[in-house]
A and B are shown apart, each in its own frame.
Chain A
Amino acid sequence: MRIKRTTWALPYFIFLLLFVALPLVMVLFYAFHGRDGGITLANFVRFFQTPEDLHTFVYSIEIALITTVLCLLLGYPAAWIMSNSNLSRSSITVMLFILPMWINMLIRTLATVALFDFLRAPLGEATLIFGMVYNFLPFMIYPIYNTLSKMNKSYIEAAQDLGANPVTVFTKVTVPLSMPGVLSGVLMVFMPTISTFAVAELLTMNKIKLFGTTIQENINNGMWNYGAALALIMLVIIGITMLFSDSEQEQANEAGGLI
């Protein structure tokens, strides 16, 4: 008997059902239920009435945005330089950028904390942002490097040929054509940074609280319904950023973006 291709998909389907769809349904269920079991919007109302949580939420988005912008400012030139250098040398450079990711993020972050300790740098917002950028920079560099290095060099020659000097070539051709990679990179950095909490806890000695920590605290303290509502709010924010870039997504895939 021939096994149909759909049969092979069955284990994945079960996996997705159990570990993606079901938890989402549960998040939805808890978020819209009170502790007494009735359907309610109280969890969301409570969020908007708790200044501390609202503040953490806005602050988390702020930190995520700052991290993303810094990663872009640092990552784009790095990706551009790598894509322009010759192949053997650039693959080593790419390796060097990717290498830290071979080590678990927590261990890396703990090492960073030890380093700051050694330097007697006070742990706070600055070290938090440093740690975030350090952790997520490769996610920005790689998709941009990917689109840049796959970009047909004849576009650049065509622009030169039509009278563009090196600066104009960069702004009018290289940057627009690398946008799919930039978008991929922005999403790859923004999405995890908005929900991260371990890096924040370790690098600030719990001095600074991010939204991820708020959710974790609530769930750990048995406030499942409120925690679920907060998680849902975060999902919606991430969903909005995805929607925002949805139209570009196809191009990103074609151009070799990472997502």
Chain B
Amino acid sequence: MAGENNIIKLENISKRYDGKTVLDNINLYIREGEFVTLLGPSGCGKTTTLRLIAGFIQPDEGRILLDGNDIAGVPPYKRPLNTVFQRYALFPHLDVYDNIAFGLKLRKTPTNEIDRRVRKALKMVAMSDYEDRDVDSLSGGQQQRVAIARALVNEPRVLLLDEPLAALDRKMREDMQLELKEMHQKLGITFIYVTHDQEEALTLSDTIVVMREGKIQQIGTPRDIYNEPVNSFVADFIGESNILDGTFIKDGLVSFIGKEFECVDTGFGENAPVDVVVRPEDVYIRRSQSGTQFSGTVKSCIFKGVHNEILVDTDEGFEMTIQDYNPFEVGEKVYMLIKPEDIQVMKKERTANILTGTVKDAGTIQLLGADFPVSCDFAAGTPVRVEVPFSSVDLMDNLDEGVISGEVHFILYKGNHYHLTVRTDDGDFLYVDTNDIWDKGDLVGIRFSDQDEIRISELQNEN
């Protein structure tokens, strides 16, 4: 990605607020004229990244380069960038014309030049008749247009857009998306766009940067991100998908949902645990068995406008989401086929919770800031590495029943069980496999069951 025409480079950027890491070693290159979208759920650091580029906040570590020059000490008003704010931030004491002319007047542009450019900008956002209007009298969509005109009239090198369409209704949002895309093509300037809406990102962008918890997960074209997500988070966040636990038997052969499938992926080792992603539209569903790979029963079928969304319980006990143009009856026996090129195999980020702690006595280990009852043979005071399988972590409704408590942070359905990310009260993450249904944000008590499955080894003292 490091070409000659990179307009903005973020190098090893980290940002912390009150000891909490908001951005963790971000590296990003943005090419001149590109439409880049920072995509992620709330709290992923996308807006912080935008504000760093705009200059409203400074990074704790790392450098931001504009045309190869470090702009750390350059205040926002000297950066050749303009921002379209989430809530528009139009000045309520100025009318539409003066809002748009604000930047030009500060630059002591001649009056007739201001007039020409303001009118041009108004025409571009189709707001020509509104120049004398009070900004408070405009609708959300009109305010949005004025905000875009106010930024573009200054002819910035880069336009920063912070969830600009979030406050608009669906129809208007779709219209504005098309207009933004057109504007980008016509003007040829770089757009950096922040959104949590994956559909918007796929529609608008040349490049999507998927972020989660202050880290970049994947950078790629919309097509790459959709077809080849690098991990289960990206797969789940972008579009609908079946995310399943699998085993990579050997190059070109992977097993999941209790069946073996040919695939095109190589290099994951032999009999290695992997995540497998299959998009709902890539599962072919038939009424006859010939040429299919597995069978199941229709659990539900919902008409979604263009296609039907069908939930199928496979005979091996997994649930799959499938999209098809034809409707199926509930309870109907169906047969499925997945083509090798539609199977996306991903390395598992982890296969168990790896924790470090200290042995307290024969039946207790100090872990995650609390005393867990885990039997072990090591002497008291020994530092240990504790490997807790996902299925050995129990979540309790009653917080007092757990050794520690936490909050359900992220939920992934894996066909026959849920894979949860739980954030403990101390901010550590635990990963849990469960059949129980939890909601994001649920408060849970945490304890370990299945003592036999927990593996403990002495931690090698590296100092």
- Residue numbers of A with Cβ under 8 A of B are 152, 154-155, 157-165, 168, 172-173, 176-177, 179
**Chain B, range 94-131, C-beta contacts under 8 Å to A:** 102-103, 106-107
Our pick among A155, A160, A162, A168 for the contact of B56 (Cβ within 8 Å) is A160
A157-B76, A177-B92, A177-B93 are contacts. A162–B150 as well, Cβ < 8 Å?
Answer: yes
A162-B154, A163-B77, A163-B154 are contacts. A157–B106 as well, Cβ < 8 Å?
Answer: no
Q: Which 5 A/B pairs are nearest by Cβ-Cβ distance? A: A162-B103, A154-B89, A158-B89, A160-B76, A176-B93
Would B89 and A162 count as touching, CB distance under 8 A? Answer: no
Q: What 0/1 pattern do residues 188 to 208 of B give for CB contact below 8 A with A?
A: 000000000000000000000
Having A164-B102, A172-B106, one finds 17 other A-B pairs with CB under 8 Å, namely A152-B89, A154-B85, A155-B91, A157-B89, A158-B85, A158-B89, A159-B91, A160-B76, A161-B76, A161-B81, A161-B151, A162-B102, A163-B77, A163-B78, A163-B154, A177-B93, A179-B93
Would A165 and B89 count as touching, CB distance under 8 A? Answer: no
Q: What 0/1 pattern do residues 208 to 250 of B give for CB contact below 8 A with A?
A: 0000000000000000000000000000000000000000000
How many B residues touch the partner, as a band?
20 to 34
A177–B151 Cα distance when bound, in Å, is 21
Q: Which of A155, A158, A159, A176 has the most CB of B within 10 A?
A: A158
Q: How far is the CB of A165 from chain B (nearest CB, A)?
A: 5
A161–B79 Cα distance when bound, in Å, is 8
- Residue numbers of B with Cβ under 8 A of A are 54-56, 75-78, 81-83, 85-87, 89-93, 102-103, 106-107, 150-151, 154
A9–B137 Cα distance when bound, in Å, is 35
Query: Which single residue of chain B is at the shortest CB-CB distance from A255?
Result: B92
Q: How far is the CB of A152 from chain B (nearest CB, A)?
A: 7
Q: How far is the CB of A11 from chain B (nearest CB, A)?
A: 38
Would A154 and B87 count as touching, CB distance under 8 A? Answer: yes
Q: How far is the CB of B168 from chain A (nearest CB, A)?
A: 18
A155–B102 Cα distance when bound, in Å, is 12
Would A173 and B91 count as touching, CB distance under 8 A? Answer: yes
A204–B150 Cα distance when bound, in Å, is 57
SS class, residues of chain A in contact with chain B: helix
Query: Which single residue of chain A is at the shortest CB-CB distance from B79?
Result: A161
A146–B106 Cα distance when bound, in Å, is 28
Q: How far is the CB of A154 from chain B (nearest CB, A)?
A: 4
A152-B87, A154-B87 are contacts. A161–B82 as well, Cβ < 8 Å?
Answer: yes
Q: How far is the CB of A104 from chain B (nearest CB, A)?
A: 39
Would A158 and B91 count as touching, CB distance under 8 A? Answer: yes
A152-B87, A154-B89, A168-B106 are contacts. A162–B75 as well, Cβ < 8 Å?
Answer: no
A155–B89 Cα distance when bound, in Å, is 5
Q: How far is the CB of A153 from chain B (nearest CB, A)?
A: 9
Query: Which single residue of chain B is at the shortest CB-CB distance from A154?
Result: B89
A162–B121 Cα distance when bound, in Å, is 15
Q: Which of A155, A157, A163, A168 has the most CB of B within 10 A?
A: A163
Our pick among B75, B90, B92, B150 for the contact of A160 (Cβ within 8 Å) is B75
Query: Which single residue of chain A is at the shortest CB-CB distance from B101?
Result: A162
A164–B78 Cα distance when bound, in Å, is 9
Query: Which single residue of chain B is at the shortest CB-CB distance from A173?
Result: B91
26 A-B pairs with CB atoms under 8 Å apart are A154-B85, A154-B86, A154-B87, A154-B89, A155-B89, A155-B91, A157-B54, A157-B56, A157-B85, A157-B89, A158-B85, A159-B91, A159-B102, A160-B56, A160-B75, A160-B76, A160-B77, A161-B54, A162-B77, A163-B77, A163-B106, A164-B102, A165-B77, A177-B91, A177-B92, A177-B93
